[in-house]
Structure 1
Amino acid sequence: MQRPKVDFLTTALNYGGAETQLVRLAMRLKKREWNVRVISMLPPAAYVSELEVTGIPVFSLDMRRGIPDPRALLRLASILRRERPLVLHSHMVHANLLARASRFLIRTPVLVCTAHNIVEGGRLREMGYRLTDPLCDLTTQVSRAGLERYVRVGAVPRIKIRHIPNGVDTHQFRPNTESRHRLRKELGIEDEFVWLAVGRLEEAKDYPTMLKAFAEIKKNRPHSKLLIAGQGSLKDGVEKLARDLGLTGSVIFLGVRRDVPDLMNAVDAYVMSSAWEGMPMVLLEASAVGLPIVATDVGGNREVVLDGVTGFLVPPKKPQALAGAMMNVMDLSPEERAAMGSAGRKHIEANYSMDRVVEMWEALYFELLERKGVRV
């Protein structure tokens, strides 16, 4: 049976967590014989070849970051009018608001809007969500904490929001001792205790707190290392802070990496210092690999990291607290760290496997189509 058409609209197509989740969902649905397309508001910077190889066309509305362009609404309406999807599924605040506005021009049967962060830009955007809510069939949140906040601030009524978490490919992200030995040798980190952080070098990730915490770690564990994978607008400032803190050679900036599963297998533990989050993909991935985790207690982090069981949670913007939790992990025996990592993987397999999450999305699409009286 030919599955119905679903179009995904995203603010951008880059190597961010939200975009990665969208791409994985689109590709899984394609394998399940859904007719899938991806539309990016900004010119796509990643994943185009991967999507097109699997038969998923990618469209761009050719917007420029930070510059409103009313023509983008007309371009989106033109694509939707031509493709006639039964479901339009938008991701992130700008795409969510644009998708809702498109209903003034063309009435796609089902519109689902997914919010990927607990805060998406302050009161003005929350008011935008509230005012445009009647144009949307359902808003979803990737974390329970985000859902509760959206209801509390009045952005979305409780009856029109649902929690569907991010999912992770537990086959791609799994323990792998072979890649561990190979990559540690390549990176020259064979004997040290190594931490990893993966994420954009932007304000939300609060790398200054991480670097200050790691400077404390170095006082007691001078041979430990911290790997940071990612790019961003704050790259120069973060690298300068590492030098100013005397961490040259101890903190290794790797840039964007396409071998994150191998990187995670090569290290001993994962650290996240975010000031705010939604449902971080990297925490799901690190847990699936079996790493003990130290993370700030923001957004949906506590839904992934079970405090004291799969890792430790600390308040945000507290370098001393972050350093203390990191030292707690380093002081565990290898067997205790392995048990913590194993508990993390079991938690992911039970609650966040990609197959399970895709089934949730399929069920939701069919539920909403049936509610609209659309036969599939």
Structure 2
Amino acid sequence: MRILQIINNLSTGGAEKLIIESIPLLQKKGIEVDLLVLDNTFTPYMKQLKELNCCNIYSLGTGNLYNPFNVFKIIPYLKKYELIHVHLFPAQYWVAIAKILSFSKVKLIFTEHNTSNKRMQNFIFRTLDRNIYRFYNKVICITNEVKDVLIKYCKFKSKDIIVIENGINLDTIINSKPLLKNQINNEILESDKLIIQIAGFRAQKDQKTVIRALKYLNEDVKLVLVGEGDLMDDCIELADHLGLGRRVFFLGVRIDVPNLLKTADLSVVSSHWEGFGLAAVEGMASGKPVIASNVPGLSNVVQDGGVLFEKGNEKELAKIIIKFFSDNDYYNKVANSGLEVSKRFSINFMIEKQLSQYKDLFKSGYEK
């Protein structure tokens, strides 16, 4: 069985991280898996996957992700593989259209990573989505909440959608060693209390609420933000405007995330919406307490192993942080609960379920 995974690029994000962690594991299971990216911008994730030398990595170039001509560049790849596994929009559209135009018999799987997107608010895109999804033989949802939204939104038959929760490499995080805090930045003292958020700076994420929460916290509480994106400059401007510039540290993309999580005292996942919340599971696996926005897709992952706060409510977030830093027993209780919950999300469970779907679809000869 030859499988091609297709994604927009390997920038910072949960879907992208799953790609670089799952492909080597699938290869070890004897499945030939390659990767096609629409945009080959060289990122730390791209570097990491290339260094593993575990698959062929193809690219359509560094052009516009939304260029419809990507459809014609994708068509030749449909002829080389038995199954195509697609992640994220607009790759989702271009692959489906490429199959339509080429009359290809290749089987398609799409993983839906979110409970919400801007297309849902637009009548034209809602209509397009309902048709595009139907060209996929199977749609994998990363939580039951994602599945419920998709069934309602696209009027799917439930048999066309399955749930496979995301997974993480627990051993990598659990066995990672903390850094010295001044190794992150020499303005951070070992005595400082360190909060971390791992997330791209885009509309879905809400680093601004975490930054605003610092106003209600002692001077020795500092914030590390890992990731990059279009909204990073806005966050830098907000931190400076609030006089917090020396307490907020923007690290960009890092591949030593497990070490950073072990170094921090608290992990925050502040989002406007989520499909799953991979960063929350990683935070729990690090043995540190996790605080997360109470939003669909994230709340069900964190509720038994962390603490939820109202989306966008920096005062409530600050109160929770203060409680953690003032009550050591509470801190340890939540941290231990989170570590236990994280064990449910081993990437090995995810790989086995994913592999089962590949084999069933390949054997079935099912074609829409």
With normalisation by structure 2, the TM-score equals 0.91
Which of the numbers 327, 332, 339 marks the counterpart of 2:333?
A: 339
Once residues 25 and 349 of structure 2 are traced to their aligned partners in structure 1, the CA distance between those partners, rounded to angstroms, is 11
Q: Is the 8 A contact 2:285 2:342 kept in 1?
A: yes
- The number of residue pairs the alignment matches comes to 358
Per the TM alignment, residue 373 of structure 1 is displaced from its structure 2 partner at its CA by 6.6
Give the C-alpha shift of residue 49 in structure 1: 4.2
The one-character-per-residue Cα deviations of 1:137-160 (angstroms, maximum 9, x if unpaired) are 111111222111111223533221
Q: How far off its partner does 1:216 sit?
A: 1.5
In the other structure, the counterpart of 1:79 is 77
SS at match of 1:27: helix
Assess if the C-alpha contact under 8 Å between 1:194 and 1:268 holds in 2. yes
Looking at structure 2, the residues matched to 127 and 356 of structure 1 have their Cα atoms a distance apart, in angstroms, of 35
Structure 1 partner of 2:164: 164
CA–CA separation in structure 2 for the residues paired with 1:12 and 1:35? 20
Unaligned runs of 5+ in 1: none
| 1:110 and 2:107 are equivalent in the alignment | yes
Q: Which runs of 4+ in 1 moved over 4 A?
A: none
User: 2:128 and 2:226 mapped to 1: Cα distance?
Assistant: 34
Q: Structure 1 186/63 Cα, relative in aligned 2: closer, same or farther at 3 Å? A: closer
Q: 1:324 aligns with which of 319, 322, 330?
A: 319
Q: Distance in 2 between matches of 1:332 and 1:371?
A: 56
After TM superposition, give the deviation of residue 196 of structure 1 in Å: 0.6
Paired position in structure 2 for 1:57: 56
Match of 1:19 among 7, 16, 40: 16
Greater CA drift, 243-252 or 41-50: 41-50
Assess if the C-alpha contact under 8 Å between 1:96 and 1:114 holds in 2: no
Which residue matches 1:367?
360
2:36 equivalent in structure 1: 39
- Give the Cα separation in 2 of the matches to 1:38 and 1:298: 32
Please give the secondary structure, in 2, of the residue aligned with 1:147. helix
Q: Which amino acid aligns with 1:347?
A: V
What do residues 175-208 of structure 1 show as CA deviations (whole Å, max 9, x unaligned)? 65xx32x422424331122111111122221222
**Preserved contact between residue 6 and residue 88 of structure 1 (Cα < 8 Å):** yes
What corresponds to 1:286 in structure 2?
Answer: 283
Bigger drift between 296-305 and 365-374 goes to 365-374
Inter-partner Cα distance in structure 2 for 1:185 and 1:235: 23
CA distance in 2, matches of 1:79, 1:252: 42
| Counterpart for residue 266 of structure 1 | 263
1:243 aligned partner: 240
Q: What amino acid does structure 2 have at the position aligned with 1:353?
A: S
Aligned match of 2:226 in 222, 229, 240?
229
Asked whether the equivalents of residues 272 and 295 of structure 2 are also in contact (C-alpha less than 8 Å), the reply is: yes
Q: Is the 8 A contact 2:35 2:55 kept in 1?
A: yes
TM-score scaled by structure 1? Answer: 0.89
Question: Equivalents in 1 of 2:232, 2:132: separation in Å?
Answer: 36
Shift of 1:169: 0.2
1 CA distance for matches of 2:158 and 2:126?
Answer: 14
Would the aligned equivalents of 1:93 and 1:120 in 2 still touch at CA under 8 Å?
A: no
Alignment CA distance shift 1:126-1:284 (3 Å): farther
Checking the alignment, whether the CA contact within 8 Å between 2:12 and 2:228 is kept in structure 1 is no
Q: Identify the range of structure 1 (288-297 vs 323-332) with the bigger mean alpha-carbon deviation.
A: 323-332
Cα RMSD of the aligned pairs, angstroms, is: 2.0
CA contact (8 A) 1:175 1:265 kept: no
2:96 to 96, 100, 105: 100
Measure the CA separation in 1 of the matches of 2:258 and 2:209: 25
Cα distance per residue 1:257-303 (max 9 Å; x no partner): 22111100001111122111111221121111112111101231122
C-alpha distance 168-313 of structure 1, shift in aligned 2 (>3 A):
same
Task: Give SS of 2:109's match.
Answer: strand
User: Greater CA deviation, 258-267 or 56-65?
Assistant: 56-65
1:356 to 349, 357, 360: 349
The alignment partner of 2:189 has SS state of coil
2:274 to 271, 274, 277: 277
- Separation in 2, partners of 1:291, 1:175: 14
Distance change (3 Å), C-alpha of 1:345 and 1:295? same
Contact in 2 for aligned 1:87/1:108 (Cα 8 Å): no
CA distance in 1, matches of 2:205, 2:256: 21
**Matched residues in 1 for 2:103 and 2:28: separation?**
28
Secondary structure of the 1:103 match is helix
Would you say 1:254 and 2:248 are equivalent positions?
no
AA at the equivalent of 1:92: L
